[in-house]
Structure 1
Amino acid sequence: MYRRPLALALTLIVLLSSAAAADPTGLLADFLVAPDGERYRIDDFNSPLGSNRLVVYTPDFGPSTATVDAMVEVVVVDGVVEEVLPVGFTNTPIPRDGYVISASGTAATWVRLHLRPGLPVALLRDRLVADAVSATHVIHQSGPNVTRGTDQLVLFTPGRERTGTNPWGTEAVVRDGIIVSVGGNDNPIPPDGFVLSGHGTARDWLTENARVGAAVYVEDGQVTIAFDSRSVARQARAYLDLADSRVQSARQEGMPIAFRRVAEHRARAWDLLAEAEALQTAGEHDSALRAAARAVGAAEQAAFAALPSPPVGIRGVWYRPVEVTPSHVVATLDRLALAGVNTLFLETFYRGRTVYPSEVASQHTEFRRWDLLEVWIEEGRRRGIDVHLWLHVFRFDEYPSGTLLRAHPEWLASGPATPVPRELRANNASADPAHPEVRAFVLALIEEMLTRYAPAGIHLDYIRYPKSDLQPSSFAIADTSRQLFMEQTGIDPLLFVNRRSAPEWRAWETWQEEQITSFVADVHGLVRRLAPQA
């Protein structure tokens, strides 16, 4: 594509060395301004947090932030910081007359340095960012048969069918000088374009700057991705095309979707596109940018609303709770119900501790104020959400520092090999599935859950032996397993560690499988006896 002037007068070329990051839309940005005048760009409003992001949650989002991965959350009321919550306090209630700032990674570091209780903080909305309009990167290699290396940005030209890249990167497909798709690897190479493929730092650059609808220029070994109001309009049209395609598929397959909502969002997007075009023609570029950006939002909503939802079946999530009050639990369940979730696999026993007050195991300290498991189950039932209790069956806790395995070192599934393999390091210690006391402990734990609560089911995770192909002698050849196997077969498994094709070693593996199978049968019998409805 030949280089030509962009329509936006404030266009600048940003080299890779620039410290400024591209805005998510490529055009507009919102900022937090601290009392000392320092500002930080807001990544989004009322969306999932993710890593290295700063998101502001307003009352429009719901009763609370529904976050699980925040490193800091800040409550702001009437423009003043009311509270700065430390790590571990997430899913914060949102004040009606304010908002909550949620941050992770480097954003959290900025928040801790600049925001203090009792001091003001300001929001700057819809600010044009000149240094986000375009961005430039060096092309390390180009051609049909290049290979993407570490931290490289390469350009695949026509000459073979696909890029052939591994999963550790990202790509942007360009046709006629316009980005038509972003994401994935091993993409088809279009005959009328090329594929930009990045790894490491180049992947991060593509992720930050490549947007559907952006114009792409290649010159002197560099690639420039540029946005103007027309680029944003192309992005909106791409979402509208996606919405139309999904609607057509839903009609053909008889799948239920929110047809009325799709039509409403679609109509608003087209109205905003017409407004943006008129403003651009009139030379009102800033206003055109804002109208085009709003069109993208409406078109994106149309595409999301056009996603089909099967009328029946499990729509479930696995979830480790971080909520420490009943109101936090209710807020999270409200968000799950709104998302259409009908099954929740709630992590209930992990790292050798329970989330509820147990007479069998120790409880995680952060949950000791209330019995929140009962709240999860009962409030979930009111919202049509079946709560299954998710257990780490034979993976207990840290070793040797963890309470459970420190008290019962004979339970550990380990052998004589050194160094200590990965599965026995911090957070990865496993118990011997054949040890009678281990089996009795887990069964007692499940019995306690079934008799005290009324879960929809029991979900067994880590229901296996730890295993390493590199150090097979290190796993489940603990004294108990080894002794039981020798008593039953007369075979010492340690003698066949390096002869894994021998029938004796296969007999050992079969015996391990039987230990797991018999334990699952014991759990099944317990559930059928105590909770036949589960």
Structure 2
Amino acid sequence: MNKRQFLKTLGQGALAWMALPALPSCDTSRPPVYPVVEGLPKSWLWLRPELGLSDDEWKQRFGKIRAAGIEAVLPQIFNSHEALFQIDVPGVPVKEPLLERLVPLAHEAGLQIHAWMWSMPCNIPEIIEKHPDWYAVNGKGEPANEKPAYVDYYKFLCPCHPEVQDFVQARVEALGKIDGLDGIHLDYIRVPDVILAEGLQPKYNIVQDREYPEYDYSYSTYCREQFKAQTGIDPLTDLEDPSQNEAWRQFRYDAVTGLVNGKLVPTAHRYGKKVTAAVFPNWESVRQQWHKWDLDAFLPMLYQGFYNEDINWIGEQVKAGLERLNHSKPIYSGLFIPQLNPEELAQAISISRRAGASGFSLFDYSSMTDEHWAVVKGK
């Protein structure tokens, strides 16, 4: 498999690596802390919907999920190409209003339903054609719509662009208006990885021992002008090594944080929806300072194999995340089923809880075997 095929597979959530050996549990000397937000579940499941299923087939599927002890589903309803919910925003195609069908069916099964939305990547041809200035630009001056990092679908929008902020906010607002929807789940709420997780780099035949300009983003005219207005510095032309400038680094953290706290969270909360996000443990590499976000909960993707780590690392990352949050918000460990056999899944859940996680989220429905379901039911 070549490197572009690999990342395409990863983007579709179908990565399957060799399972890691069973490992002893993490240190439990520090008492766990379990932040609780009223109304949030303890067990979640990411799910990429199949089109064409009848209501009865969805009822059967949701019934199976709930019978296994899962309390919430996260159906992917915007994948950067099209929406699976009704939205009246220019340029956003609607495949079908599936989400509106799924909400009552999930509730009937006893499940919460939180809409999983890709946030910053946009692969809609009309947007690419009509709004090329909306896209993020790397340190070589290359826009993501023309030369995306790593693979073709990495066409990220610029978080500094006011029209981009409105475009992303409009999707959240459309979701907020859906009766009965329990929450909105933000994915890809970041910029491209300036440094990929260590376990992924060999798959692309690259070595990222530092921040290279072709993978370093937020050099659009909008970002540069805003930073120059604050500091008097143009990061593209005035800095010999932008990666070493702390003010420029913080500016880019703040650009994403400002979008989340200034637009997305207030919009969702105005409609009474909970807000969560799939976030990175190596948050610096994607300019995702999520411990400053005003979310209701966090689902960090603790995919240990991506980082060449063992299962104990999951607990370490839960503790680190809770410490950054000052134990003020709940964390649910995002667990990657293709890397976990049933025994390892049981370990990962136990390790997460002992480290202070309020629960777990599984990626994803299509990867679950009968043996995995049995483990979850016992938890």
TM value normalised by structure 2: 0.52
Q: 1:480 offset after TM fit, Å?
A: 1.4
Could you say which residue in structure 1 is the equivalent of 2:63?
334
Which residue among 78, 86, 99 is the counterpart of 1:349? 78
SS in structure 2 at match of 1:353: coil
Aligned pairs, how many? 226
Residue-by-residue CA offset, 1:30-81 (whole Å, 9 max, x unaligned): xxxxxxxxxxxxxxxxxxxxxxxxxxxxxxxxxxxxxxx9xxxxxxxxxxxx
Could you say which residue in structure 1 is the equivalent of 2:187?
461
d(CA) in 2 for partners of 1:313, 1:474: 36
Could you say which residue in structure 2 is the equivalent of 1:519?
259
Q: Residue type matched to 1:315 in 2?
A: S
Q: 1:350 offset after TM fit, Å?
A: 1.4
Could you say which residue in structure 1 is the equivalent of 2:46?
318
d(CA) in 2 for partners of 1:413, 1:327: 43
Q: Structure 1 residue 508 and structure 2 residue 237: aligned?
A: no
Q: Structure 1 residue 493 and structure 2 residue 240: aligned?
A: no
Gap runs ≥5 in structure 2 = 1-8, 25-39, 195-210, 276-379
d(CA) in 2 for partners of 1:429, 1:501: 22
Question: CA 1:475 to 1:533, structure 2 compared with 1: closer, same or farther past 3 Å?
Answer: closer
Give 1 or 2: higher helix fraction: 2
Could you say which residue in structure 1 is the equivalent of 2:21?
184
Q: 1:511 offset after TM fit, Å?
A: 1.0
d(CA) in 1 for partners of 2:180, 2:102: 11
Listed as ranges, the matches of 1:110-121 within 5 Å are none
Give 1 or 2: higher strand fraction: 1
SS in structure 2 at match of 1:495: coil
Q: 1:532 offset after TM fit, Å?
A: 5.9
Question: CA 1:352 to 1:463, structure 2 compared with 1: closer, same or farther past 3 Å?
Answer: same
TM value normalised by structure 1: 0.38
Q: 1:344 offset after TM fit, Å?
A: 0.8
Which residue among 392, 410, 426 is the counterpart of 2:133? 410
Q: Where has structure 1 moved over 6 Å in runs of 4 or more?
A: none
Q: Structure 1 residue 394 and structure 2 residue 135: aligned?
A: no
Q: Residue type matched to 1:511 in 2?
A: F
d(CA) in 1 for partners of 2:77, 2:232: 40
Question: CA 1:532 to 1:342, structure 2 compared with 1: closer, same or farther past 3 Å?
Answer: closer
Q: 1:452 offset after TM fit, Å?
A: 3.1
Q: 1:529 offset after TM fit, Å?
A: 1.8
d(CA) in 1 for partners of 2:219, 2:47: 33
- Once superposed, what is the RMSD of the aligned Cα atoms? 3.3
SS in structure 1 at match of 2:153: coil
Q: 1:388 offset after TM fit, Å?
A: 0.5
Larger radius of gyration: 1
Question: CA 1:388 to 1:530, structure 2 compared with 1: closer, same or farther past 3 Å?
Answer: same
Q: Is the 8 A contact 2:161 2:222 kept in 1?
A: yes
Question: CA 1:390 to 1:438, structure 2 compared with 1: closer, same or farther past 3 Å?
Answer: same
Aligned identity (percent) is: 23
Q: Is the 8 A contact 1:421 1:474 kept in 2?
A: no
Q: Is the 8 A contact 1:361 1:445 kept in 2?
A: no
Gap runs ≥5 in structure 1 = 1-68, 70-103, 105-166, 171-182, 189-311
Question: CA 1:397 to 1:499, structure 2 compared with 1: closer, same or farther past 3 Å?
Answer: same
d(CA) in 2 for partners of 1:329, 1:488: 52
d(CA) in 2 for partners of 1:348, 1:426: 20
Listed as ranges, the matches of 1:216-227 within 5 Å are none
SS in structure 2 at match of 1:458: strand
